[in-house]
Amino acid sequence: MVELLRRSWVEINLTQIQKNFKIYQANISPTASVMVVVKADAYGHGDVEVANALQELGVCSWAVSNFNEACKLRNAGISGEILILGYTPIENIDSLIENNITQAIISEEYAEAILKTGKKLKCQFAIDTGMNRIGLDADCPEKCIEKIESFSKILNLDGIFTHLCVADSSEKKFKDYTQTQIQKFEIIADGVKNLHLNNVHCLNSAGGLWHSTKYNSLVRLGIILYGLKPDYSNILPDGIKPALSWKSVVSMIKTVKKGEYIGYGCTFKADRDMLVATIPTGYADGYNRMLSNIGHVVINGKIAPIVGRVCMDQFMVDISEISNAKMGTEIELLSESYNADDMANDIGTIGYEIVCGISKRVPRVYTR
Ligand SMILES: *Cc1c(COP(=O)(O)O)cnc(C)c1O
């Protein structure tokens, strides 16, 4: 790597992503195939790089969040099916068809708007089974089935899907909720059986491992591909590990005397003489400001707690117990011992948000 990048950078191990994929596949229903979710730049890991690594393993089904993400994959030579899981403006329909991209139909109103264009768009109906985000309301199954059937005569309808919202929980009430969602979905799927849709799917990462359905031909694998947990309490299959580590360096070391303050807002006061290192990474890099006075980094295998507030481009850590650090010493912001799930747990969010939040100014370096 060129020295220029040695400020703050992310290393992504594509072999680990391939491993995670294989282990996940071995742990779901043997009849299921996997649709890989690479939305949000593959959860910050790099969509084209991740898709290329998985295309090598024969993956040919992808999901993204929007039109730009879908086109980026197509332009990079990713083949197979690409499903857009959310809203695409109607003006983009021609480009969707040109690029052979499948669009989720998020509502009846959206379906009507597509019909008005007179274009035969390849699409899949989203069904709302209890999340109240997008889709036809599964609580009115007859109406749902009737709508899907009538639109299937005009659109190029390729499937239906729903999304589970508590499949990662082991609590009984949430397991029951998920079962209810799956049952509601199956009623619709049974009702449109005569359409012989190619893709009838309802399981996300968590669902694929901990739930099942008679329509389990396709599982949408997101977070677990990247080695992170849907919920911090989850236990993942052996061998699935985070593929991403985030590194930075020590830019300066100084002593801070007892009674002095550190950082904006003077939120940290030294209760003793301390050795403090400055790290050239900040919230503009996606290093969450909520980590102020809470998080830590790892320097030479030892924990260095954050002292004071995280700034836009820098923050400070206590290295009083770490003697061998100097300017340029490589440090770990996210690593196997403190991964995105651990960091998220420290500040009350989820690993998804941590990895998606690593900003574009942080270079991604790929290893195998
Ligand atoms: C993001 C998303 C997924 C993947 O969810 P994970 O929890 O990351 O596995 C699957 N389906 C839909 C509709 C999604 O929006």
Atom 6, ligand 1: residue with shortest CA distance:
222
pLDDT tens by residue, 140-191 = 999 999 999 999 999 999 999 999 999 999 999 999 999 999 999 999 999 9
Q: Which atom of ligand 1 is nearest to the CA of 161?
A: 13
Is 172 one of the annotated active-site residues of the chain?
A: no
CA of 351 to the centre of ligand 1 (A): 14
Say what the pLDDT of residue 4 is: 54
Whether 308 lines ligand 1, by a CB cut-off of 6 Å, is no
CA of 82 to the centre of ligand 1 (A): 14
Report the helix count and the strand count for the chain, using DSSP H and E: 11, 20
Tell whether pTM > 0.95: yes
Whether 123 lines ligand 1, by a CB cut-off of 6 Å, is no
Q: Which atom of ligand 1 is nearest to the CA of 167?
A: 7
Task: Enter the tokens of residue 273.
Answer: 């003489």
Whether 220 lines ligand 1, by a CB cut-off of 6 Å, is yes
Q: Which atom of ligand 1 is nearest to the CA of 163?
A: 13
Whether 37 lines ligand 1, by a CB cut-off of 6 Å, is yes
Say what the pLDDT of residue 217 is: 82
How big is the CA angle at 360 (ends 134 and 16), to the nearest 5 degrees? 80
Whether 102 lines ligand 1, by a CB cut-off of 6 Å, is no
Atom 1, ligand 1: residue with shortest CA distance:
222
Whether 234 lines ligand 1, by a CB cut-off of 6 Å, is no
* CA 218 vs CA 6, 31, 63, 168, 280: distances in Å: 41, 8, 12, 18, 43
Say what the pLDDT of residue 2 is: 52
Say what the pLDDT of residue 323 is: 86
Q: Which of 214, 232, 264, 326 is catalytic?
A: 264
Is 264 one of the annotated active-site residues of the chain?
A: yes
Residue 203 has what DSSP assignment? B
Q: Which of 39, 147, 184, 247 is catalytic?
A: 39
Per-position b or e across 120-133, b if 16+ CB within 10 A of its CB: ebbbbbbbbbbeee
Say what the pLDDT of residue 93 is: 96
How big is the CA angle at 165 (ends 160 and 168), to the nearest 5 degrees? 115
Whether 223 lines ligand 1, by a CB cut-off of 6 Å, is yes
CA of 201 to the centre of ligand 1 (A): 12
Name the residue type at position 89.
P
Residue 167 to residue 164: CA distance in whole angstroms:
6
CA of 334 to the centre of ligand 1 (A): 23
Give the 3-state secondary structure of residue 340: helix
Whether 230 lines ligand 1, by a CB cut-off of 6 Å, is yes
Per-residue pLDDT of the chain (368 residues; tens, 9 = 90+): 555 579 999 999 999 999 999 999 999 999 999 999 999 999 999 999 999 999 999 999 999 999 999 999 999 999 999 999 999 999 999 999 999 999 999 999 999 999 999 999 999 999 999 999 999 999 999 999 999 999 999 999 999 999 999 999 999 999 999 999 999 999 999 999 999 999 999 999 999 999 999 997 899 999 999 999 999 999 999 999 999 999 999 999 999 999 999 999 999 999 999 999 999 999 999 999 999 999 999 999 999 999 999 999 999 999 999 989 999 999 999 999 999 999 999 999 999 999 999 999 999 999 99
Name the residue type at position 342.
D
pLDDT tens by residue, 325-353 = 999 999 999 999 999 999 999 999 999 99
